[in-house]
Amino acid sequence: MNIWESFKVALSSIWNHKIRSILTMLGIIIGVAAVIVIVAIGQGAKKQMTDELFSTDKNVVELYFEPIQTEDEMDMFWQEPELTSEDLEFLGSVQGVKSVLATNQGWGSLMINDKQGEMDTITGVDGEYFTARNIQTVEGRPLNDRDNDGLNRVVMIDTVARDKYFKASDDAVGEIIDLNGNPYKIVGVYESPIPEQFRWSENGEMVMPRSVVSMMFGNREIEQLAIIADDPERISEIGMGAAAALTEHKKMEDGQYSIHDFSEYEKEVETVITMMTLFIGSIAAISLLVGGIGVMNIMLVSVTERTREIGLRKALGATRGKILLQFLIESITLTSLGGLIGIGLAAVGALLVTMLSPITAIISPVVVLIGVGFSAFIGIVFGILPANKASKLSPIDALRYE
């Protein structure tokens, strides 16, 4: 009997004892499904946490100048190097850098329709700011590079400022505001990117061309420099590479550009998710062990039921290896079928988790292959003892068995 015939005999035996086979496979089905779903939830939670902490508009890596001073120079005045548009263009070409954010800051008193107020945060930006930070414009238009290059006296306000100062107005776009005694035209309103619970001011925020902020407050045109990495899982690596590249580009000898190290945060997220997945997954794996024991038990029963069949086959010339292979194939077939059914159940479970919870369960093809392979492995491990018992039966004793 070749392998294909042994496989057909195994399927026939499973089919002839459907209820028993299903009950035997139940532990394997539940175990494989549970392991795949738990790993999928773990992968989904990891991705969600990574996205929340490090991705999209939140994966900003700030670059800052760090002077190199000797002990004799610690009290001496040092000046941060001036950054230019050429430096920003170079930084944008560094591998892994998705966008470059160059901003400056200001603040001032407002006069809007004879109503006085304060603007605690005025951020100077360029045209790339809104795309890089994924900030949505809800009215009017965003600022662009022409506004920055032309020193245009235009501003954008966020939805918080719009609700406070223009709640009674149908459209804030086109309104003229007085900021520190100078008129500015509102060209757009943007959705505030700051969650309500983290807002420290009720006045909202405002952005205007970076060059205008510099002219208005007499500060540098580029005070804060940051990049957005194209891979949220390599924030630290890309940030350090960008800082080193900018330091070399500026040919600095008295200092260097550095970043705040995110590697510890990344490791913490990885550790928490891994520990959760391993802990819960190990519990689910127990059902696989129980299922394997069930397979071994039913295969021992099968050997007992088919003792005369084994004796007849041996009397007709079947070798011990052939008998061993037949029962191993039957055990592997039984557990593999359970594994495949478990994968289907896991797909349904992952879909339900995605629909009913904020986590998107991600089923990895590698985990699916491991599930099937592990199921077959269980069939081999727990099928060896019954198969070995069957192969050792004496033909004469087996034929006499009642």
Write out the DSSP string of 196-223.
GGG---SS-EEEEEHHHHHHHH---S--
What's the confidence (pLDDT) of residue 209?
93
- For the chain, how big is the Rg over CA atoms in Å? 34
- For 68-110, what is each residue's pLDDT tens digit? 765 555 545 567 788 888 888 898 889 988 888 889 988 888 8
What's the confidence (pLDDT) of residue 277?
66
What's the confidence (pLDDT) of residue 110?
81
Distance in angstroms between the alpha carbons of the first and the last residue of the chain: 25
**Domains in the chain: boundaries:** 3-52+267-400, 101-225
Write out the DSSP string of 319-378.
-HHHHHHHHHHHHHHHHHHHHHHHHHHHHHHHHHHHHHSSS-----HHHHHHHHHHHHHH
For residue 42, the one-letter residue type is G
pTM recorded for the entire structure? 0.52
Six token digits for residue 254: 């008295």
In sequence order, the 6+-apart residues with CB closer than 8 A to the CB of 195 are none
What's the confidence (pLDDT) of residue 55?
47
- For 127-186, what is each residue's pLDDT tens digit? 888 888 888 899 999 998 899 889 999 999 888 888 888 877 777 888 888 888 889 999
Identify the residue whose tokens are 């099968």.
Answer: 302
Low-confidence stretches of the chain (pLDDT beneath 50): 55-56, 75
